[in-house]
């Protein structure tokens, strides 16, 4: 038996509160079943694209039934080992194929969003190199979206570069944004500016404790100034907030901390 959360946080905030499917060292189903009574949404993270790393059709059916039983919704984090902007055409084609496969597998769950990384893995930040990377992403998304996928359900996550680099891609394909506040802190990017600029496109926020050295920690790692900035954002947000941590202790501490500071801070 795994320890349950001490209380339910369903409906406690103006946004949906959730966390990852890797809180307990067990299966997707076991994580969902243990967390479902206490949260509004679960982020199903698919770290790898290998077929044996993805949940089976039977597991998806079980996860679907748990959603109905506990009034739960899901979002999907697409595999981290794919790249629509890779230099090798075969790598890009595999990424497109994988995204379609995951969407087909999980369609019955009606996810709120599918979060996608667009990793920048070039050797430098030379303008022409960035331009070619963006062109490859554009071509990949064009191929993906012409297959009938609703592009707005895909949310592009903030990583280690300014989101402005792909802003024209967001607009061209009508994509959503996954605003990972921990990443913005870790890489020294301006949270307030990013939020104000992309709030209307943001379907999900990844929230975790972070500073300039590490992230995906309990929320009490946040500095007072970053905490105030984040709370001001959250007071204006109605989407999904996923506390993106990966252990029971970190989740329990983060939920308790968020609840304790929520009403104390005026906006």
Residue 74 falls inside a structural domain:
yes
Residue 4 falls inside a structural domain:
no
Instruction: Report the C-alpha gap between 191 and 197 in whole angstroms.
Output: 10
> Tokens 């939920």, residue?
255
Strand partners, 43: 20, 75
In percent, how much of the chain has pLDDT > 70? 99
Residue 137 falls inside a structural domain:
yes
Quote the domain boundaries for residue 244: 16-262
* Cβ-contact 14, 238 below 8 angstroms: yes
C-alpha Rg value of the chain to the nearest Å: 18
pTM given for the model = 0.97
pLDDT at 149 over 80: yes
Distance from CA of residue 188 to its chain's centroid? 19
Residue 10 falls inside a structural domain:
no
Residue 43 falls inside a structural domain:
yes
First and final C-alpha spacing in the chain: 41
CATH value at residue 33: 3.20.20.150
Strand partners, 116: 156
Take residue 129 and report the two structure tokens written for it: 């190199």
Please, which residues have CB within 8 angstroms of residue 177's CB and are 6 or more apart in sequence? 155, 156, 157, 158, 163, 170, 198, 201, 202, 203
Instruction: Report the C-alpha gap between 179 and 93 in whole angstroms.
Output: 26
pLDDT digits (tens, 9 = 90+) for 17-44: 999 999 999 999 999 999 999 999 999 9
Of 147, 150, 120, 152, nearest to 136 by C-alpha is 120
pLDDT digits (tens, 9 = 90+) for 181-229: 999 999 999 999 999 999 999 999 999 999 999 999 999 999 999 999 9
Instruction: Report the C-alpha gap between 63 and 108 in whole angstroms.
Output: 10
What is the number of domains present in the chain?
Answer: 1
Residue 7 falls inside a structural domain:
no
Q: What sign results for the dihedral spanned by CA atoms 29, 34, 38, 39?
A: negative
Residue 232 falls inside a structural domain:
yes
pLDDT digits (tens, 9 = 90+) for 67-85: 999 999 999 999 999 999 9
Residue 242 falls inside a structural domain:
yes
């Amino acid at each position: 038996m795994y320890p349950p959360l001490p209380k339910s946080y369903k409906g406690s905030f103006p946004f949906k509160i959730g966390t990852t499917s890797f809180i307990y060292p067990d299966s997707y189903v076991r994580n969902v079943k243990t967390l479902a009574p206490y949260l509004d949404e679960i982020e199903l993270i698919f770290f790898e694209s290998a077929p044996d790393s993805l949940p089976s059709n039977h597991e998806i059916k079980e996860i679907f039934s748990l959603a109905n039983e506990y009034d739960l919704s899901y979002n999907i984090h697409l595999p981290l080992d794919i790249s629509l902007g890779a230099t090798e055409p075969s790598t890009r084609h595999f990424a497109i194929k994988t995204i379609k496969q995951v969407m087909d597998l999980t369609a019955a769950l009606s996810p709120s969003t599918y979060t996608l990384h667009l990793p920048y893995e070039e050797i430098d930040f030379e303008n022409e190199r960035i331009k070619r990377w963006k062109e490859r992403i554009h071509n990949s998304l064009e191929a993906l979206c012409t297959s009938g996928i609703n592009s707005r359900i895909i949310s592009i996550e903030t990583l280690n570069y300014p989101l402005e680099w792909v802003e024209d891609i967001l607009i061209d394909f009508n994509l959503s944004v996954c605003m990972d506040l921990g990443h913005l802190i870790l890489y020294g990017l301006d949270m307030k500016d990013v939020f104000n600029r992309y709030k209307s496109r943001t379907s999900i926020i990844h929230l975790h404790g972070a500073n300039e050295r590490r992230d995906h920690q309990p929320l009490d790692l946040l500095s007072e100034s970053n905490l105030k900035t984040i709370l001001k954002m959250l007071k204006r947000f109605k989407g999904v907030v996923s506390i993106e941590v990966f252990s029971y202790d970190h989740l329990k501490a983060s939920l308790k901390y968020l609840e304790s500071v929520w009403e104390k801070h005026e906006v």
